[in-house]
Amino acid sequence: MRLARAFADGQWWLGAIVADDKEIALIPGSLDDVVRGGPSALDAVQTAVSRASTVPLADVRLGAPLRRFNRDILCTGWNYWDHFEESKGKREGQDPPEVPQHPTFFTKGPDTVIGPADDIAYDPRLSEKWDYEAEVALVIGLDGRDIPERDAWRHVFGFCLANDVSQRDLQRAHGGQWLKGKSIDATMPLGPWITTVDEVDDPQALRIQCEVNGELRQDASTGQMAFRFERLIAELSRGMTLRAGDVLLTGTPSGIGNARDPQVFLADGDVIVTRASGLGTLRNRVVTRA
């Protein structure tokens, strides 16, 4: 299923995308509750959707699929080797001494999250180096600690898209910690819906892309990841409980603005399109916050 949070007739609904992504069935409920509710909650949604009428998807507004977070958004850095290599010597003193043997994890605040068509809150007073990062996100659907790789998919509810819009100068300025340069309010599009695991034939064959003002900047396959989805879940959960409703960004491929020559950063009015095969599209405008 492809499940969304949709606004229509003056209220928010739980939506299921149908008819080749052209229609949406609207039922009462919260996607946050479904993600945390286990198989019985998903079965109940399937039953309700089968009985619901549909409306054109173009007639509703989609919001970020999740709004109730257990903690910060969990993130993975340097998880495509081409991205790791393209940024060598451009990290302003933050290059690691050697190629990482384990995934690099960090977090960003939940107030960064916006919807799939919402404006990105741009503030040039905060940073001169606003950058884009298209990513596939995993949504955890079952609590777990010390999860072995072979069991990883049991703990995943589904996939969605994110763009980890980052402020590179802030990312470098605070003692080598990335939190500040990744946590500016209203800057991370999430959505457009959550695609359940059973809808994706091969998670390592998803094509992810990012366009800025119609120019293709990032274009890669999840098969190019340094550490597969299963490895990320296994390592992150080692000694640390993952909770249903947690969101894990899984890294961005090469093509970021900071690594280009010359560098190119986001500005007011830019339009960012993030897409991945089978997961939908995010379309967000960069707009200066008053």
Q: Domain extents for the chain?
A: 2-62, 73-288
Is 184 buried (19+), middle (13-18) or exposed (0-12) by CB count in 10 A? buried
Could you tell me which of 199, 177, 163 has the C-alpha nearest to residue 282? 163
CA 276 to each of CA 18, 153, 189, 241, 269: distance values in angstroms, whole numbers, following the listed order: 18, 19, 14, 28, 23
Is 54 buried (19+), middle (13-18) or exposed (0-12) by CB count in 10 A? middle
Say which CATH topology domain 73-288 has: Fumarylacetoacetate hydrolase; domain 2 (3.90.850)
Q: What is the mean pLDDT of residues 262-286?
A: 97
For residue 104, the model assigns a pLDDT of: 93
For residue 90, the model assigns a pLDDT of: 56
Q: Cβ distance 141 to 1 under 8 Å?
A: no
Q: What is the mean pLDDT of residues 74-79?
A: 94
Q: Cβ distance 139 to 157 under 8 Å?
A: yes
pLDDT band of residue 97 (cuts 50, 70, 90) is: low
Q: What is the mean pLDDT of residues 165-180?
A: 89
For residue 87, the model assigns a pLDDT of: 63
Q: What is the mean pLDDT of residues 13-39?
A: 96
CA 107 to each of CA 20, 195, 241, 278: distance values in angstroms, whole numbers, following the listed order: 34, 23, 15, 26
The owner of tokens 């980890």 is: 164
DSSP 59: G
Q: What is the mean pLDDT of residues 148-163?
A: 98
Task: Tell me how far apart the alpha carbons of residues 27 and 6 are, in angstroms, rounded to a whole number.
Answer: 10
Task: Tell me how far apart the alpha carbons of residues 130 and 258 are, in angstroms, rounded to a whole number.
Answer: 9
Task: Report strand pairing: 271-276 vs 113-114.
Answer: unpaired
Does the pTM of the predicted model rise above 0.85? yes
The owner of tokens 């599209």 is: 281
Over 80: is that where the pLDDT of 224 sits?
yes
For residue 122, the model assigns a pLDDT of: 98
Over 70: is that where the pLDDT of 95 sits?
no
The owner of tokens 């293709």 is: 216
For residue 196, the model assigns a pLDDT of: 98
CB count in 10 Å sphere of residue 89: 8
